[in-house]
Chain A
Amino acid sequence: MEEPFFFSNKNYRLFSILHHPADPKSLHGETGVVFCDPFAEEKLWAHRVFVNFARLLSKNSYWVLRFDCMGHGDSDGNYEDANVETQLSDIRRAVGVLKEKARVKNVMLLGARFGGTLSALAAANVDEVDGMVLWSPVVNGEKYFQDCLRSNLTTQMTTYRKINYTREQMVRDLLGGKAVNIDGYLISPEFYKQISRIRLNEVMPSCKKPLLMIQIHKEENARIDKEVQELQGALKQAGRPAQFGTVKGEPFWRELNTFPQRLDALFATTLDWINRQNDPAVSGSGDPSRLTETRAGTEKGSD
C-alpha cells in the first residue's frame, strides 16, 4: 500500500508518500527509511529510481517515507525560499512523521547526491536517526555548487552564443544578496552560503551511526573518487562504522539517452546492507565483498 498525504512543518505543508510494508509483523517492519532527494532538477531525473527502490524495500517489509522538501516537488513554497537549514528541518520533521505514523523503532535515512549529503548532516544531528545510506553523495559543497553554476554557462552559450554572466559574477551576486538561476531553479544567497560551507570530511567523523556509501559509476570496478577516499580515511581514523563501495550504473540523476528506472546492483547491495543492520545473520543477494569496511581501523573487501 502506498499512501500519499501532506504533513506540516512550521507554516507550510510537505507532500509525501508512505510505503507500507508487505508484512508489517515482520522484523523488518520495525524499521523505516526516509528518502532524501537530490538538489534542484537532479531530483526529477532520480525520481523513478527512488520510487522503485522504495517499492523494493516495502516488498521486503520495511516502511518507507518519501517526501518533497519545501519549495520542491509538490510541496508548498518556492525553491528560492529553501536552503540547507530548511531542508534539514524538513528531514527532521519527516523522521518524526514516520515514527508517529508507522510506530517504527529504527529510522534510517537514504539520500542520493545532495540528498545524501543532507542525510549525513541530519544523521549527525538527529537522535532519532539510526543509520544512513548515501548514494554518490556530494562531499564538498563548494565544488558541487561550482559545477552547478557551469550549467548556467551552458544555457547562456546555447542561447546567446556567448557568456554574458560569468561564474565569478554569479558568485559576486550571490554574496551581494541576489539569487542565481541553476537549471531553472532560483538559488538564494543563503542556500549558496550554507551549501558552500559543507565538507562531509569534517562533519562525518563525529557521527557514530552506521553508514553505507555507494558510488555509482558507469564502468565496472571503477575506483572510488578521491574525495570519497579521503572521507573514508577520515572515518577510518575515527574508527567509525562505515562501509564504502562502488556499483556499476548510469548516473540516474542526470539527463541520459536512456530512462533508468532501477539499478539492480545498487538496489541489491543497499537492501543487503539494510537487512544486515536489522539482522546481522542474514545473507542477501547483494555482494558485500564489494564493500570496504572502515570500522576500528580494519579493512575487508576489495575495491
Chain B
Amino acid sequence: MNLEKAVTFRNNKGQLLFGILHLPESPKLKSRIGINILNPGLKNRVAPNRINVKMARMFCDMGFHVLRVDPFGIGDSEGELAAHESVMDLWGMIQRGLFVPDTLAANDFFVREARLEKLILIGQCGAAVTGMLVGGKDDRVESLILVDSPVRLLSSQVDMSDILAEISRPGEMMLYYLRKVFSGRSWLNLIRFQSDFGGLRKLFARMTHPRSSRNQGNASDAPGVSERFNKKFLDAFRRFTDRNKNVYFLFAANDFSLQEFRQDMQAHFLDRHPEYRSRCRIDIIDDANHVYTEEKWQHELLHYMKSWLERYRQAC
C-alpha cells in the first residue's frame, strides 16, 4: 500500500511550508523519478475538486514519488501574501514568479527526502506558469505537464470586467454574470444602480461582435502578440527546451488560456519555430472548463496525463 506522509520544511526565508509526500509501495521505475504537483495559485495543495489529490494517488500507483506543497501564504504554510485590492494583482505576481523560490525549495526537499534523480513538474493555471519558470532554472526538472497555462499577465491596471472582456469567451463572461443572477445581493445592487453595467456592456459587445470575426487567422497572418504576453514564460520555455526537454500542454476547451496560448504562443512562436514546436505536445479536452467540474473532464485530464507518463516511464 502506498504511504502518504505529512511533511514540513523551511523555505529560504525561514518560513515553514506544509505538504504531503506520496511514497509508492514499490517504485516500479528504473530511475527514481518524482512528480512535484504544484499549488494551483490561491487555493491550497488539494486544488479545485481535489484534482491534485486524485492525480497524486494515481501517479503514486504508477510507481512515482509525488509531492504536493503549499507555498508561503497559501494553505497551511506560514507567511502572508501582501494585501491587495484585487485577486488579479496576486495572480499577476504569481505569473511573474512569486512562488518560484518556494518551488525550488520544494524540489530540494523532495530530491533529498526521497533520494530522487529526476523531477517532473505538473501545474495548472498559475502553477503552470510557476512550473515553466522553475523548469527554466532547475536542471533536475526533466519534463513539464502544464495545464491551462495562461501566457498573458493579469495586470493590476485593469478591472475585472476589462480582463474578462479581453481574455474570456462570452461563455466565461456569462458564467461570471450568471453567478450574480443567482445572488440576492446582486439584485440589490441592481436596484441601487451599483451594478457593474460596464461589464455587462462589454459582454453584449463581445456577443454581438465575437472575437472570431475580429481577429481569426492562421500562423501567417497571426495577430500581434498581446502587450500582456508574459515574456518570462517564453524565456523559460526556450531555456527549458534548449536542454532537449519536453513540455506537455493540456487545455480545457472552454478555458480562456487556450485562446491566449494559440494567439500569442502558438501562432507567434511555435508555428514559426518547428525546432521548438517539436518539443511540445498539445492536447485539448473538449467542453471542459477551467476547474474541470464534470467527472468526465477530470477523467479525461487524468487519462491524458497517465498516458504521457506511461510513455515517459517506458522511455526511462
Residues in chain A within 8 A of chain B (CB atoms): 2, 4-6, 13, 15, 17, 41, 44-45, 47-48, 51, 72-74, 79, 147, 150, 154-155, 157-161, 181, 183-186, 218, 255-259, 261
Contact = CB atoms under 8 A, between A and B. Distances in A.
Interface of B: 4, 6-8, 16, 18, 20, 42-46, 48-51, 53, 73-76, 80-81, 83-88, 90, 160, 171-172, 174-175, 178-179, 182, 185, 254, 287, 289, 291-295, 298
Contacts of B51: 184
A258 to B, nearest CB: 6
A284 to B, nearest CB: 23
- Interface of chain A, helix or strand or loop or mixed? mixed
Given A44-B48, A159-B254, A258-B86, A74 B4 contact: yes
B254 A47 contact: no
Residue of A41, A51, A158, A181 ringed by the most chain B CB atoms within 10 A: A158
Given A45-B43, A47-B44, A79-B50, 7 more contacts: A154-B182, A158-B172, A184-B51, A184-B294, A218-B185, A258-B84, A258-B87
B239 to A, nearest CB: 31
A259 B90 contact: yes
A44 B287 contact: no
A158 B174 contact: yes
B293 A155 contact: yes
Contacts of B292: 184
B15 to A, nearest CB: 12
Given A2-B16, A259-B90, A261-B81, A184 B75 contact: no
B87 A47 contact: no
Contacts of B254: 158-159
A45 B174 CA distance: 22
A15 B6 contact: yes
A41 B51 CA distance: 12
Contacts of B49: 41, 183-185
Contacts of A186: 295
A256 B87 contact: yes
A150 B182 contact: yes
A48 B42 CA distance: 9
A74 B4 CA distance: 9
Nearest to A154: B178
Contact of B43 (A44, A157, A256, A261): A44
B293 A259 contact: no
Contacts of B84: 258-259
Contacts of B50: 72-73, 79, 184-185
Contacts of A73: 46, 50, 53
B10 to A, nearest CB: 13
Contacts of A51: 75-76
A267 to B, nearest CB: 14
For the complex of A and B, the 7 pairs showing the least CB-CB separation, nearest first, are A184-B49, A4-B6, A158-B175, A184-B293, A44-B43, A158-B171, A154-B178
A5 B160 CA distance: 40
A47 B87 CA distance: 16
Contact of B178 (A15, A79, A158): A158
B175 A261 contact: no
Nearest to A152: B293
Given A159-B287, A186-B295, A74 B46 contact: yes
B58 to A, nearest CB: 13
17 contacts: A2-B76, A4-B8, A6-B6, A15-B20, A44-B46, A147-B182, A154-B182, A155-B289, A183-B48, A184-B291, A218-B185, A257-B86, A257-B88, A258-B87, A259-B81, A259-B84, A259-B90
Contacts of A184: 48-51, 291-294, 298
